[in-house]
A and B are shown apart, each in its own frame.
Chain A
Amino acid sequence: MFKHLITGTATLALMTGTALAQDVAREDTVIFDLDRTITDPTNFNWLTDGTGVRRMHGGHQVMWEPLFILDYNTGELDPWLAIGFEGNDDSSAFTISLRDGVEWSDGEAFNADDVVFSINLALENEEITAREASAIRSQVASVEKVDDLTVSVTLQAPNPRFMVENFGIRIFGSYLIMPEHIWAGQDAATFTFPEPIGTGPYTFTSAATNRAIWDRNDDWWGAKTGFMDLPEPQRVIFLETGGEESRAQLIAGNDLDAAQNVSVGTFEAVRAQNAAVIAWYEDYPYAAADPCARQLEINTTVAPWDDPAMRRAVAHIIDRSQIVNVAYEGTTEPSRTMFAQYGAMQPFIQAAIAAGGELPMTADVDAAQALIEGAGWTRDGDYYTKDGETLSVEIHVNSASTEYTRTIDVVVEQLQRAGIDARSVPVENGVFWGEVLPFGAYEMSYSWLSCGSVNEPWASMGRYTVKDVVPVGERSPGFNNTARWDGAAAEAYSAAVDEMASLPLGDPQIVDLVGQAYGHLAEEMPFIPLVQAAKLIPFNTTYWEGWPTNDNYYNHPFFWWNTGHQIVHGLTKVE
């Protein structure tokens, strides 16, 4: 919220920080943008952090490596710390084979003991809150070491997507393996991992609230075993830049190599100043499609929004094309259903549309007002009232990006005009993810919590089943069903989705089940899909080349994800 104050000092602090540590030339350093404050820079226990900042400051991009990486282009799981896996016939048990020769940066061998120990951490500790840990806890029955390089996992129920979901970085993170020789005997809920180590090619040097510095470990196992060459950058820095203005100025001035999302206008202005700055596409709209479609999350336990008719009314009021034009300046498209509009998702999108789940591109305020009036509200001047009470709603929004706040500004305006006294409540990133969303402390909020599906429907649909319903004030497991959607329709929906869960990927029955389940979802609207997300991520080619782009599609450009490893390895120094 007041980040731009910090920003002025950000570069200064960075310089001081660098001066204190061993000197590395700018051309050997790669600087990534961090869009949030590292609230507790000495705590590396990512398992107890719901906001993700204990990983995305470099932790899971350069230090902790994943077992597999999902290639968005090919849909394949590329092996990393593991070399392969095998499921049994009904996908209720998996055997994972680990790579030989992997070492922790302190020289200890990485092996099956670490994997078994880490999975047990999630199974045995109810207090750890990371989404990935909740997923493990709700799926895994038991885990066993077969030999030093083989682990066997038994699930509670068949799940053909188990590996990609938990160990393949489908979205943002994967379940990270922690070193048993350090974590053993510690209380996972309180241990802060003060001297973090990982298997990655960089080791932790220093961190403050606005930056984290990582230096290359020239003794990295991957280079020794021939898995991969050492990455070229000697130092990696994650720097909190603050708002759009400062990240734009920093990247235009070559003080930043990769920036977080900016608007088209800003990107064009940066390009006018610095021709070395590129993005996913060479030309308009520049932005890459993000798998997390944006939505309006509704707390279905709060009146009057506990009435499905009122939620449908809100859905009718929303004009998606105006959101695209105003908040995204035309760089994205309205959502047709809850799903990300990737090619592989088309059969499921069609099934949802056939079930009556298609969302209109523009508003139908008359239909909305008929629904509101049907619920007993009458228009009195600007707003609807009932029993002397004005129809109002507060929409919580994360203030970290103008993309978020501006979308909600547009929605607020549309609701106001239709007779609902809507207000936007911007809250700080940590409060938003830590307090507002998981505990249901909102009426409506801006989120992307149905995010998950990129090539099959269950990952998204499975997030709104009744088994994840908890009362307001209790933490939603893994940010699932934060809408607290319950009741007969929700149960019918959950039954269809649960059935879908056990079917192997590609089973034609899945499409039918999507249609079945989606009918209930469209009827009840526990959340309202808004628009597809597009991320315009500027990369600077002044010092480093090899950034992911549409022409160099080794993977998506989201450098704050666990896939950041690929980007750091992909960089080559500009001579």
Chain B
Amino acid sequence: MTRTSSEAQSGRTPPSRADRRQTRRLRRFDSPWMNPKLFWGLGLLLGIVAIGLLGRLFWNLDLVFTGSNTLKLPPVGFENLRRQEGTWINPLGTDGSGRDMLALIIMGAPNSLFVGLLASLIGMTTGIVLGFTAGFVGGRVDDTIRVLSDVMITIPPLLILVVFQSAFGDVSLTMMALLIAGFVWQSPTRLIRAQVLSMKRSGYVQMAQLSGASVPHIMFREMMPNLVPYLFGSFIASVTTAIVTAVGLEVLGLGPQRIPTLGRTIYEAINAGALIQNLWWWWGLPTLLLGVMFIGLLLINLGLDEVSNPRLRKLS
């Protein structure tokens, strides 16, 4: 006689390990937002924001400017090619023009995130307005918006942005975000339009129309709440795209000149021969942070996917 059947006979069975896991999993399903991927992703991004905030409180940010420290110092515990040892004055070392790496990271990492968030906020807002309008209003308006976004989606953004930025010379972070925003609204527009088209036929929308609700009311008060998880996912995806684009431009030496960004630090490292001089902290630290940022965004995206799509949750 197996243990299970004897326990079954006794009537009050303590839950087996498998059962407990099952219950835990079910409990987790009760609140789809309690998603570990989401937590980890948010944690990583908040960590970067925290570096930015705490660093501003506890570190001397004037060290970020050209010529404020000894050149090419390694991080604490390492030695550079000239046999100089790292010091606690510049715990993460300095770059080729004497900028403190720690200060660069404190200033630069939130900057990259800021460009991504701002660009995709603008891009998504445009996408939501245009997508809803196209899907809901239809007709000529739909044709115009659809053709516009279809045309824009075929244009490689980096190419255009490189030309733009070379023409502008030095641009501010906000300006860069605005330029990038011009290239992240198309896909949300198309996808939202498709969703709206299918939703338009559903009962509650038709009911709202019959009861005389205004078009903006139906679009944003009735339909949009149903799209929230989806919009979040789309938002995160476009933050990623915007950061990749921004970093791409910075690594080409475009973008802001004096405001530190991770991409520009990498550009300067490559341009000044950091690889051959074995100044790994110069290009390595910003690369590492960008890696963390992208992993964070990816995890959030995966987490949101699971939130909005219950079928994915069962797989975990």
Q: Which residues of A contact B (CB under 8 A)?
A: 1-2, 4-5, 243-245, 248-249, 252, 262-263, 265-266, 268-270, 272-273, 322, 325-327, 329, 394, 399, 402, 406, 409-410, 412-413, 416, 423-428
The yes or no answer to B276 lying at the interface (CB within 8 A) is yes
Majority-rule SS of A interface residues: helix
Is the CB–CB distance between A263 and B170 below 8 Å?
Answer: no
Q: Please, how many angstroms separate the alpha-carbon atoms of A413 and B260 in the complex?
A: 13
Is the CB–CB distance between A406 and B170 below 8 Å?
Answer: no
Q: Please, how many angstroms separate the alpha-carbon atoms of A551 and B278 in the complex?
A: 31
Which of B67, B258, B268, B270 contacts A322 (CB under 8 A)?
Answer: B67
A-B CB proximity, top 4 nearest: A266-B273, A425-B169, A244-B273, A326-B67
For the complex formed, measure the closest distance between the CB of A246 and the CB atoms of chain B, giving whole angstroms: 9
Q: Please, how many angstroms separate the alpha-carbon atoms of A379 and B98 in the complex?
A: 28
Which of B72, B169, B272 contacts A244 (CB under 8 A)?
Answer: B272
Contacts A268-B81, A326-B97, A424-B258 known; A2 to B276 CB distance under 8 Å?
Answer: no
Find the B residue at minimum CB distance from A399.
B253
Find the A residue at minimum CB distance from B72.
A265
Residues of chain B with a CB closer than 8 A to A272's CB: 81
The yes or no answer to B51 lying at the interface (CB within 8 A) is no
Q: Please, how many angstroms separate the alpha-carbon atoms of A270 and B279 in the complex?
A: 13
Find the B residue at minimum CB distance from A411.
B66
Is the CB–CB distance between B257 and A423 below 8 Å?
Answer: yes
Find the B residue at minimum CB distance from A428.
B166
Write out, one digit per residue, whether chain B residues 80-109 have a CB within 8 A of any chain A CB (1) or not (0).
011000000000000011100000000000
For the complex formed, measure the closest distance between the CB of B252 and the CB atoms of chain A, giving whole angstroms: 4
The yes or no answer to B254 lying at the interface (CB within 8 A) is yes
Is the CB–CB distance between A270 and B276 below 8 Å?
Answer: yes
The yes or no answer to B227 lying at the interface (CB within 8 A) is no
Which of B96, B98, B253 contacts A1 (CB under 8 A)?
Answer: B253
The yes or no answer to B274 lying at the interface (CB within 8 A) is yes
Is the CB–CB distance between A265 and B271 below 8 Å?
Answer: no
Is the CB–CB distance between A269 and B276 below 8 Å?
Answer: yes
The yes or no answer to B175 lying at the interface (CB within 8 A) is no
Is the CB–CB distance between A413 and B270 below 8 Å?
Answer: no
Residues of chain A with a CB closer than 8 A to B13's CB: none
The yes or no answer to B162 lying at the interface (CB within 8 A) is yes
Residues of chain B with a CB closer than 8 A to A424's CB: 170, 257-258
The yes or no answer to B294 lying at the interface (CB within 8 A) is no
Which of B67, B270, B277 contacts A269 (CB under 8 A)?
Answer: B277
Which of B65, B82, B97, B273 contacts A245 (CB under 8 A)?
Answer: B273
Is the CB–CB distance between B72 and A402 below 8 Å?
Answer: no
Is the CB–CB distance between B252 and A2 below 8 Å?
Answer: yes
Is the CB–CB distance between B271 and A2 below 8 Å?
Answer: no
The yes or no answer to B289 lying at the interface (CB within 8 A) is no
The yes or no answer to B46 lying at the interface (CB within 8 A) is no
Is the CB–CB distance between B257 and A426 below 8 Å?
Answer: yes
Residues of chain A with a CB closer than 8 A to B258's CB: 409, 412, 416, 423-424
Is the CB–CB distance between A426 and B169 below 8 Å?
Answer: yes
Residues of chain A with a CB closer than 8 A to B122's CB: none
Residues of chain A with a CB closer than 8 A to B254's CB: 1
Find the A residue at minimum CB distance from B70.
A325
Which of B67, B96, B169 contacts A413 (CB under 8 A)?
Answer: B67
Which of A2, A4, A263, A423 contacts B162 (CB under 8 A)?
Answer: A2
Q: Please, how many angstroms separate the alpha-carbon atoms of A191 and B232 in the complex?
A: 61
Which of B67, B96, B170, B268 contacts A410 (CB under 8 A)?
Answer: B67
Find the B residue at minimum CB distance from A262.
B273
For the complex formed, measure the closest distance between the CB of B29 and the CB atoms of chain A, giving whole angstroms: 48
Residues of chain B with a CB closer than 8 A to A268's CB: 81-82, 277
Contacts A263-B96, A265-B81, A272-B81 known; A410 to B66 CB distance under 8 Å?
Answer: yes
The yes or no answer to B275 lying at the interface (CB within 8 A) is yes
Find the A residue at minimum CB distance from B254.
A1
Q: Please, how many angstroms separate the alpha-carbon atoms of A327 and B81 in the complex?
A: 19
Contacts A243-B271, A406-B97, A413-B65 known; A252 to B276 CB distance under 8 Å?
Answer: yes
Q: Please, how many angstroms separate the alpha-carbon atoms of A394 and B257 in the complex?
A: 12
Find the B residue at minimum CB distance from A424.
B257
Q: Please, how many angstroms separate the alpha-carbon atoms of A107 and B153 in the complex?
A: 59
20 further A-B contacts with Cβ under 8 Å, apart from A2-B162, A266-B273, A272-B81, are: A1-B252, A2-B252, A243-B273, A244-B271, A245-B271, A248-B276, A265-B82, A265-B279, A268-B81, A269-B276, A269-B278, A322-B67, A402-B271, A402-B272, A406-B97, A409-B66, A412-B258, A413-B67, A425-B170, A426-B257
Residues of chain A with a CB closer than 8 A to B272's CB: 244-245, 263, 266, 402, 406
Is the CB–CB distance between B273 and A248 below 8 Å?
Answer: yes
Is the CB–CB distance between A326 and B71 below 8 Å?
Answer: yes
Which of B71, B72, B253, B274 contacts A2 (CB under 8 A)?
Answer: B253
Query: Which residues of B from 126 to 185 have beta carbons under 8 Å from A?
Result: 162, 166, 169-170
12 A–B pairs (Cβ distance < 8 Å), ordered by A: A1-B252, A5-B252, A244-B272, A244-B273, A245-B272, A245-B275, A265-B81, A265-B279, A409-B97, A409-B258, A410-B97, A412-B258
Find the A residue at minimum CB distance from B169.
A425
For the complex formed, measure the closest distance between the CB of B272 and the CB atoms of chain A, giving whole angstroms: 5
Q: Please, how many angstroms separate the alpha-carbon atoms of A244 and B169 in the complex?
A: 22
Most buried by A among B66, B72, B257, B275: B66
Find the A residue at minimum CB distance from B269.
A245
